[in-house]
Amino acid sequence: MSTMPDDVQQHIANKYLTFVLATEEYAVDILRVQEIKGWSKVTPIPNTPDYICGVINLRGTIVPIIDLRLRFGLDKLAYGAMTVVVVVRVVNPATGKSRIMGVVVDAVSDVYDMPESEIKPAPDFGSVISIEFIKGLATVEDKMVIILEIDKLLNSQELAVLEQVDQS
């Protein structure tokens, strides 16, 4: 339940935060973004996939950190002063529960207004490339932006593994 007035919520409902991974620009719904922070050391969790960096303590909340480069099968980059963690609220569609997670990206780009009518469905690549994590594609300032379904992207095996960590 949002505490924002309806007119304010409607104004930001079509806004997306964009960020860069390799040479591509990706976007997530701005209403899901909790904060953007620089890279800081994480506590690794044993027996997790390589794209799960570990966890951080963010003001008393244990936040899992996912490296989106590795999640997407891209080459790993060394983390440095320019590495950014986008902290997002993810909803598990099966349970309706939400949790806070961080995603490591190369750089944050911008915030764009993208009306639903301008978001085109991702093309079907057959079984070669999975598009289940892609909400759609939009053209912004002559460039293609890939809009992510953050709930689907971060709710597959990650939550099952990380929920076990939370309970231990």
Summarised one tens digit per residue, pLDDT across range 93-122 is 778 888 899 999 999 999 999 888 889 988
Quote the pTM value.
0.83
Which CATH code for domain 6-167? 2.40.50.180
For the beta carbon of residue 163, count every other beta carbon within 10 angstroms.
15
Check pLDDT > 70 for residue 128.
no
Q: CA 46, 50, 36, 161: dihedral to nearest 10 degrees?
A: -50
Distance CA 110, CA 121 (A): 22
Write the burial class of residue 96 (CB in 10 Å: 0-12 exposed, 13-18 middle, 19+ buried). exposed
Q: What is the pLDDT at residue 9? A: 47
Partners of 96 in the beta sheet?
none
Q: Tell me what the mean pLDDT of segment 122-140 comes to.
A: 75
Check pLDDT > 60 for residue 70.
yes
Which one has a higher pLDDT value, 81 or 58?
Answer: 58
